[in-house]
Structure 1
Amino acid sequence: MNLYSEHYVTQKAERFVNKIWCLNNSIGKSFIENKLVLPNGCFNLAIVTGNAIEVHTSKNKYEMNEGAYFCSQMTNKVLVNIQPKTKVTIIQLHTWTLSMFPKYDLSNFTDSILKINPEELPFKVQTDAEIETLLNTINTYFEELSDLHSDKNIIEKICEIIKNQEEISVSEISSYLKSSQRLLQIKFKTATGLTIKKYIQILKFRKSVDQMVNSDLEKLKLTDVALYNKYFDQSHFIKKFKDVTKTTPKMFDPNSYFLSQKR
């Protein structure tokens, strides 16, 4: 049984859900220690069964026993220790998904984890449900949500512009959307906890990591990675990389991380 696995929702549900991923140590007899997760611009709903998982963010240490948890946007690497007989199923939500529920103000909620009551979720999940059952539940709910909200809201539009143009300023985004920069910044931070600039930096960082992991670093020069991903130069890229990982690109060990599978 693989410790890390990914499961994908339908094309329509994928508007709001990136994927479901699992950390499965349910038949393991030893701790999985010092594994790392990188920020990627998504929110996560985590369902823990069995014993517990310990998560260290840049702000705090969390002991996550059985139950459901809401994980905010992360801005730095996260360290994970998984106890034996423990399984964690994680629903990865796109940046704009929580903005569909405007009662949530996430302005000051980053690098944090909050235990929640599963009964308060807009879709009903059993914490011990098999992945197929969970996928059916998630697909049904988010397909209906997509039908109900065929028009994109302002947060989804901002993210779409950034995805399509990557190296773009807040002033340019405000021009595209014919809205003030200040209003966009307030709405984006309320919905995500991040500034627009920080979100752009996180996406750029993850793109560079994915490029490194899926390429032969012996042949791929760091200068090429830096310039391809719109960093000023190699030194700028190394500095930003160290800000998140606390190590240099040359010392980066993919085997220490839970990284997305290439789709």
Structure 2
Amino acid sequence: MNLYSEHYVSQKAERFVNKIWCLDNSIGESLIENKLVLPNGCFNLAIVNGNAIEVHTSKKKYEMNKGIYFCSQMTNKVLVNIEPKTTITIIQLQAWTISLFPDYDLSDFTDSIIKINPSELPFKIQIESDIETLLHTINLYFEKLAALHSDQNTIEKICEIIKIKEEEISVSEISTALNSSQRLLQIKFKTATGLTIKKYIQILKFRKSVDQMVNSDLEKLKLTDVALYNKYFDQSHFIKKFKDVTKTTPKMFNPDSYFLSQKR
């Protein structure tokens, strides 16, 4: 049994959905304890089927039984315990996706999880759906959404500028590129994502560093190289920021304790 697996949406749907990932303890007879998840700059819709999963964020502990949950942006590592006979399917939404639904103000909603009624979702999914059915539903909905919103909104434009910029970019540079005031961009971004633009940049930079470490030989990898490649001031700055999120140093980091993205 593969406890962790990833599944990918169509190219058009990927504009709004990064991927779908599954945690499968459906045939397990024992509790899976103390597994960790790192922040990634995305929102998550978690579909829990079976018994339950326990999630510890930096704010509180959540007991997630059968149902659908909206998970906000996470700013620190998250600890999960998965009960036997339980499957969690997670739809990973891009940072700008929720900004297409202006009724939602997420400015004060980080490191938090809420249970939602499936009828609140703009697409219909069943908790018991298999991954193929779920992928079909997600692709169909978000491909139509892409056609309806051919132009990027402000939040997507901000994220795109950050993504394609090889050097670390400032809010001032983003405001110049979009011909908008820094204050207005900050308010819009915080309302849509719960994060400041600067915090979002830091999270992306951190995940890029972790992915580089995991996909390299940790014994031979020089932290100075990782730090400088990912635009940290120096090795000490990188270690400090790494500890802020993981509560451990890069040298003590154990990838086996985490659910990490697979290399595509």
Question: Does residue 1:232 correspond to 2:233, yes or no?
Answer: yes
Match of 2:245 in 1: 244
Match of 2:149 in 1: 149
1:64 deviation in Å?
A: 0.1
For residues 82-93 of structure 1, the aligned pairs below 5 Å read 82-93=82-93
Counterpart-to-counterpart distance in 2, 1:100 and 1:3: 33
C-alpha offsets along residues 167-206 of structure 1, whole Å, 9 cap, x if unaligned? 0000000000000000000000000000000000000000
1:12 deviation in Å?
A: 0.3
For residues 42-191 of structure 1, the aligned pairs below 5 Å read 42-165=42-165, 166-191=167-192
Counterpart-to-counterpart distance in 2, 1:212 and 1:156: 28
Counterpart-to-counterpart distance in 2, 1:88 and 1:118: 15
Match of 1:25 in 2: 25
The 3-state SS of whatever aligns with 1:110 is coil
1:220 deviation in Å?
A: 1.3
Counterpart-to-counterpart distance in 1, 2:137 and 2:119: 14
Counterpart-to-counterpart distance in 2, 1:188 and 1:108: 12
Match of 2:194 in 1: 193
Counterpart-to-counterpart distance in 1, 2:213 and 2:221: 8
Match of 1:222 in 2: 223
The letter for the 1-side match of 2:212 is Q
C-alpha offsets along residues 102-134 of structure 1, whole Å, 9 cap, x if unaligned? 100000000000000011100000000010000
The letter for the 2-side match of 1:197 is K
The 3-state SS of whatever aligns with 1:105 is coil
1:72 deviation in Å?
A: 0.1
Match of 2:35 in 1: 35
C-alpha offsets along residues 224-244 of structure 1, whole Å, 9 cap, x if unaligned? 000000000000000000000
Counterpart-to-counterpart distance in 2, 1:31 and 1:123: 32
Counterpart-to-counterpart distance in 1, 2:147 and 2:122: 16
Q: Percent identity?
A: 86
C-alpha offsets along residues 62-113 of structure 1, whole Å, 9 cap, x if unaligned? 0000000000000000000000000000000000000010100000000000
The 3-state SS of whatever aligns with 2:227 is helix
Give the ranges of 4+ consecutive aligned residues of structure 1 lying more than 2 Å apart after TM superposition: none
The letter for the 1-side match of 2:27 is I
The letter for the 1-side match of 2:200 is Y
The 3-state SS of whatever aligns with 1:64 is strand
Match of 2:9 in 1: 9
The size of the alignment, in residue pairs, is 263
Counterpart-to-counterpart distance in 1, 2:11 and 2:194: 27
Counterpart-to-counterpart distance in 2, 1:228 and 1:68: 39
Counterpart-to-counterpart distance in 2, 1:254 and 1:172: 35
The 3-state SS of whatever aligns with 1:143 is helix
The two structures, once aligned, show a CA RMSD in angstroms of 0.5
Match of 2:263 in 1: 262
Counterpart-to-counterpart distance in 2, 1:30 and 1:45: 25
The 3-state SS of whatever aligns with 1:231 is coil
Counterpart-to-counterpart distance in 1, 2:218 and 2:19: 28
1:33 deviation in Å?
A: 0.1
Counterpart-to-counterpart distance in 2, 1:218 and 1:127: 43
Counterpart-to-counterpart distance in 2, 1:130 and 1:226: 41
Counterpart-to-counterpart distance in 2, 1:163 and 1:148: 23
1:153 deviation in Å?
A: 0.2
The letter for the 1-side match of 2:248 is T
- Structure 2 gap ranges (5+): none
